[in-house]
A = this chain, B = another copy of it.
Amino acid sequence: MSRKRITSKELAKLAGVSSATISRAFSPDSRIGGATRDRILAVAREHGYQPNAIARSLNNQRSRLVALVVNAIGNPCEAEEQQLLVHRLQAKQLLPIILCCADHTDRLQLMRLASTYQVDHVVIFSDMVSMKDAVDIFHTTRPIIVSFEPVESDSVSHIRIDGSAAAGEIIDKIVKDGRKRFAYLSGTSSSWIDKLRRKWFADALAKHGLAFEADAYGDYSYDSGFKEAVLLLHRSKADAIICGNDVMAIGARDAARRVLNRNTPDDLAIVGQDGIAMAAWDCHDLTTLSLDHAAFMDAVVDLIDRHDADLEGPHSITLTCKARWGTTA
């Protein structure tokens, strides 16, 4: 129960060797006698010695830390992906540092702070971070942008999501059901992602000679979905609402049912996006434009591996969404 951590030099004295040998005992493939290593490891265990990762990082120029920039942890739409990624990172002995921020200037501040920790990789989930800021702040670490901003760049790798086909399927079905008045409930008023997602559906509508009749803007939360849906349904005659994510769709559906007494799918069609586990819960059973989160995070890890292998050039991976059919549309 020592209050102070033992150093390699002290352990060296205890084991009767030099501190270099201690280090070698902990490096899997280094020239060291088997007997010596065993003895050192035994003494180390006895005294609770573990090499100091901070000192090692300084020497190595490799911290094994990964910064994850996200908007929220509490929102299931993001948390689900984050959990998958965290598990994958941990399996590679990489430790995730979470940078979670709603406010933009705070976020940049935070990113600067994390960059001083010499993180080996940066994964940006937030659609609010511009590529310029990302490259600026992490100039030694090529960031991985997990948004859908369609930019090719040598200094940034990114994952592109294509939901156009699945959005087409969904719109086709809803139109076939006889609906004509569509509204789009955005997750935010100012992000690439949201504009692109809306476009998938808008293009699909155009094929039927239709367009969105109304737009509303929330903040990806249940509350905003609820509130904006009420306003939307009061000021328009929409019979179908496409929502920016699943949580907002759930909020919108509750609003329709509770405030306006309209049920899905009979009186109103509601579509979500993301395909989170919750969307499939019996109480929701949402029709949603879903993404395979496991494949998504596999792609992120793939990019990390490419960076580690020091492959040059921009890296980009494209994933496609699928329609998940529930009973709300």
Q: Which A residues form the contact surface with B (CB < 8 A)?
A: 1-5, 48, 50-55, 57-58, 63, 65, 72-74, 76, 79-80, 82-84, 86-87, 90, 93, 95-101, 106, 110, 112-118, 135, 139-140, 155, 222, 226, 250-251, 253-255, 257-258, 277-278, 281-284
Contacts and interface: CB of A to CB of B under 8 A. Distances in A.
Contacts of A82: 73-74
Contacts of A54: 54, 57-58, 63, 117-118
Contacts of A72: 83
Q: What is the count of identical protomers in the complex?
A: 2
Contact of A79 (B51, B53, B55, B73): B73
A74 B80 contact: yes
19 contacts: A5-B140, A48-B139, A50-B112, A50-B116, A52-B118, A54-B58, A55-B58, A58-B58, A74-B82, A83-B100, A87-B100, A90-B100, A90-B101, A96-B98, A222-B277, A222-B278, A250-B283, A254-B282, A254-B283
A119 to B, nearest CB: 10
B115 A50 contact: yes
Given A48-B139, A54-B57, A100-B86, A281 B250 contact: yes
B2 A139 contact: yes
Contacts of A65: 97
Given A281-B222, A283-B254, A73 B76 contact: no
A83 B90 contact: no
A1 B141 CA distance: 11
Contacts of A57: 54
A139 B140 CA distance: 34
A118 B74 contact: no
Contact of A284 (B63, B84, B283): B283
A53 B116 contact: yes
Given A5-B140, A74-B84, 13 more contacts: A2-B139, A51-B116, A52-B58, A53-B113, A54-B117, A65-B97, A72-B83, A73-B83, A79-B79, A87-B100, A90-B100, A253-B283, A283-B284
Nearest to A5: B140
Contacts of A257: 282
A106 B255 CA distance: 43
A114 B95 contact: yes
Given A96-B98, A281-B250, A86 B112 contact: no
A80 B72 CA distance: 9
B53 A118 contact: yes
A11 to B, nearest CB: 14
B110 A99 contact: no
A110 B90 contact: yes
B96 A97 contact: yes
Contact of A283 (B58, B73, B283): B283
Nearest first, the 8 A-B pairs at minimum CB distance are A254-B282, A74-B83, A53-B116, A73-B83, A53-B117, A79-B79, A74-B80, A86-B100
